[in-house]
């Protein structure tokens, strides 16, 4: 299975590398810098500040999303990472519509894609994911996608299992500007070993203040985020005296380049 994942990632990286030297293959891109402040974390130290750099892009053969989170823990340090840690994901998807120049659409499905993700960072987090994704036409949403993966941790770590990840974004007018509602869910079932079923919801509601402070519209946002985790990191709540469930309200600011 690992060799199959390596082949898929090599193919995806080769395609995106070729695209980097051929600008006509790049259809659109957006780069964001964001800041989050949250309190009442349970698994990690209570107060966490996160600085994120992320980019979404569309290509003539698919799309790409990646992000890097740099976290700082106020006061107490994380027992593994200390006061600072980072976590990143690289997620290319190959579009059947674009590659085969044919519409793979039916009902609410507008495209079918080969989806992959590489997770990496500090600690034992490196994991390769490979599966299938669909883009959905959902009324009121700018985009809505659903990806279903098989998870394959690196090394000898337990955790071979599945993952279901919907992601969404929607804008709607509010108070002379716009609200942006976006987020994702990661749901991972048990692997019948030591990795327990876990659920993670991360969503944000942000107000576009860019048009009021001499920026262009859809450039600068402020708002609130909500992060909910059940059995975070695959640790069963209560095992070893660990509270692995958490519900955190966050302050969020984001700038679109």
At residue 138, φ and ψ (nearest 5 deg) are -115, 120
Give domain limits for the chain. 91-256
In this predicted model, what pLDDT tens digit does every residue of 178-223 receive, in sequence order? 999 999 999 988 765 566 788 999 999 999 999 888 778 999 999 9
For the domain made up of 91-256, give the CATH fold: Outer membrane phospholipase (ompla); Chain C (2.40.230)
Beta-carbon count within 10 A of 140 CB? 10
Say what the pLDDT of residue 140 is. Answer: 96
In this predicted model, what pLDDT tens digit does every residue of 132-186 receive, in sequence order? 999 999 999 999 999 999 998 886 665 688 999 999 999 999 999 999 999 999 9
Cα gap 77→241, rounded to integer Å: 19
Task: Name the DSSP class of 131.
Answer: E
CA distances from 25 to 10, 82, 110, 134, 246 (A): 19, 42, 21, 21, 42
User: Is-contact 85 52, C-beta < 8 A?
Assistant: no
Closest-CA residue to 16 (of 96, 112, 130, 92):
92
Instruction: Specify the 3-state DSSP secondary structure of 16.
Output: helix
**Banded model confidence at residue 74, pLDDT cuts 50, 70, 90:** confident
User: Is-contact 204 225, C-beta < 8 A?
Assistant: yes
The pTM assigned to this predicted structure is 0.84
């Amino acid at each position: 299975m690992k060799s199959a994942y390596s082949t898929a990632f090599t193919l995806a990286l080769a395609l995106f590398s070729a695209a980097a030297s051929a600008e006509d293959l790049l259809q659109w891109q957006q780069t964001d810098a964001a800041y989050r402040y949250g309190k009442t974390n349970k698994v990690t130290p209570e107060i966490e500040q996160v600085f994120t750099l992320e980019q979404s892009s569309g290509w003539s053969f698919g799309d790409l999303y990646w992000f890097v989170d740099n976290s700082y823990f106020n006061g107490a340090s994380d027992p593994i990472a200390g006061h600072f840690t980072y976590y990143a994901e690289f997620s290319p998807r190959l579009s059947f519509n674009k590659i085969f120049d044919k519409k793979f659409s039916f009902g609410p499905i507008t495209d079918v894609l080969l989806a992959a993700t590489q997770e990496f960072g500090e600690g034992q987090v490196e994991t390769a994911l490979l599966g299938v994704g669909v883009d959905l036409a959902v009324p009121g949403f700018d985009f809505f996608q659903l990806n279903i993966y098989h998870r394959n941790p690196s090394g000898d770590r337990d955790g071979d299992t599945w993952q279901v990840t919907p992601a969404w974004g929607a804008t709607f007018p509010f108070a002379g500007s716009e609200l942006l509602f976006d987020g994702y869910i990661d749901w991972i079932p048990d692997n019948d070993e030591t990795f327990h079923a876990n659920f993670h919801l991360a969503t944000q509601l942000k107000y576009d203040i860019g048009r009021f402070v001499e920026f262009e519209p859809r450039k600068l946002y402020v708002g609130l985020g909500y992060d909910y985790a059940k059995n975070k990191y695959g640790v069963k709540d209560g095992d070893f005296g660990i509270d692995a469930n958490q519900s955190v309200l966050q302050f969020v600011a984001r700038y679109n380049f």
